Amino acid sequence: GNKRNRGSIKAFREAFGNLAILRSLCKEGTPILSLTGTADKSTVNAIKTSLSMKSPIEIFVSPNRLNIRISVSKCSKVDMLSQLNWLIELVKEKGTNTPKTLIFCNTMNEIARVCNYLLLKLGDSAFCQSGEKLAENCMIGIYHSATWDTQTQRIVDALKNTESCSSRIIVATTALSMGVNFPDIRYIINWGPPRTLLDYHQEIGRAGRDGKQSDALIIFNGQQLSHCEDDVKYFAKSSNCYRVASLFPFDANIKPLEPLHNCCSLCRGTCSCIECDDKALESLPFETIETVVGYSDGPSFIRSVSYDDQEDLKSALTELFESFVNKQDEMDVNFYEQLTTEIVSNCEKIFTLEDIITNYAVFSVKRAISILDIFNDIFNDITSIPLFRELEFIDCLVDQPFWSVTNYTGHYSSSESDSEIV
């Protein structure tokens, strides 16, 4: 049967911590070599301590990846999902020729929102032209430390395949930034600021392994910076060069990359090379978000809602949620009580499946449709429910057995995402 891979990750970390014991069994004077791709000073010290290495010779190579351009996009919370519209248009245009893209999220909540948004917007375009609506034919995938082993292996195999494959966009936690080598990843998107700059460079280091020009893009809103480390805040708020700000803790001698249009989004705006002077430089796909039409971040309509309507809605939602809530689990009960309150408080603006899935912690399309059924019973103004029912296949694509209240809202700790040592 299917197995989840979280145990293997913990086993790896435990095994690494025991390497010093293995070393003690070696003959005195036996050379020991420790290699890591990206490490700041504290991580280097942790490795040396863990391996009982005293006064080792250190060979440093800057982690500066010259073929990865760094871009940062700050937006309002309500506009975040629309920042992915360029990627949606790219999939519609190129299909299985879409450049391979990894989207790194910090929470399961964010993974579900991003994945559901992409699937809702793409519809049939999310699948290979000749394929059925099955996970193996879907161009959108999910990868986290508790995904079924069979699914993670399918995704890893697809990403390693430099020829034709169905997996083009993978929404993942940092579990996918550990110990893998995908040769032709073109876009890395960080959904929200990284927890640490070490995490960040491990994640964007998945891009451009074949040496070709690739892009790393951070999409965040200002509220998300409040829980970040100081060097991450400094990086995200930089007004000079994002490359220098992100790499300074690892390489104090870092300089902006020439030509500047290949360095970062800040330097790109000040580049005066011949290409830029002649305006021959093409815009990057994510630089033209404002030209994408057909999307709306706010509600198209506002309904009039009475106090009695709100009470009826609250009662109906409570009855719905009680049909599957674990009443013995206080966290489960509190979660759905809060969800009910949030939906009722904003009921004048809820009309579509997207309104529910992209704004509230409802990650099952079938349950979202049940909520819309209740809205239609009370307000009689939702006409697209039969069309929405055709999208229930999404539930089969987002690893539903794993979704639970705890995982919706909980951040991954470093031990779960394996972010310290790669």
> What is the predicted pLDDT for the residue at 326?
82
State pLDDT tens for residues 317-351.
Answer: 999 999 888 888 888 888 899 999 999 999 999 99
Instruction: Count CB neighbours of 117 within 10 A.
Output: 20
> What is the predicted pLDDT for the residue at 212?
96
> What is the predicted pLDDT for the residue at 73?
95
State pLDDT tens for residues 174-206.
Answer: 877 666 788 899 999 999 999 899 989 989 999
DSSP helix/strand/coil, 256: coil
Cβ atoms of residues 170 and 158 within 8 Å: no
> What is the predicted pLDDT for the residue at 85?
95
| Integer CA distances (angstroms), 398 to 22, 105, 135, 404, in order | 41, 14, 9, 13
Instruction: Name the residue with higher pLDDT: 421 or 104.
Output: 104
Distance (Å, whole) CA 339 – CA 334? 9
Instruction: Count CB neighbours of 305 within 10 A.
Output: 16
Cβ atoms of residues 354 and 394 within 8 Å: no
Distance (Å, whole) CA 86 – CA 92? 10
Handedness of CA 192, 196, 197, 201 (dihedral sign): negative
Quick one: pLDDT band at residue 398, thresholds 50, 70, 90? low
> What is the predicted pLDDT for the residue at 417?
43
Element spanning 79, H or E: none
State pLDDT tens for residues 49-66.
Answer: 888 888 899 998 889 999
> What is the predicted pLDDT for the residue at 36?
82
Instruction: Name the residue with higher pLDDT: 188 or 384.
Output: 188
Sort 53 into a burial class: Cβ within 10 Å, 0-12 / 13-18 / 19+.
Answer: middle
State pLDDT tens for residues 358-383.
Answer: 888 887 788 889 999 999 999 999 87
Mean pLDDT of the 269-279 span: 86
The answer on pLDDT for 125 being more than 80 is yes
Quick one: pLDDT band at residue 147, thresholds 50, 70, 90? low
The string of DSSP codes covering 86-125 is HHHHHHHHHGGGSPEEEEEESBHHHHHHHHHHHHHHHGGG
Mean pLDDT of the 78-106 span: 94
Mean pLDDT of the 145-162 span: 72
Which backbone phi and psi does 211 adopt, to 5 degrees? 90, -5
What is the chain's Cα-based Rg?
23
Sort 126 into a burial class: Cβ within 10 Å, 0-12 / 13-18 / 19+.
Answer: buried
Instruction: Name the residue with higher pLDDT: 145 or 25.
Output: 25
DSSP helix/strand/coil, 195: coil
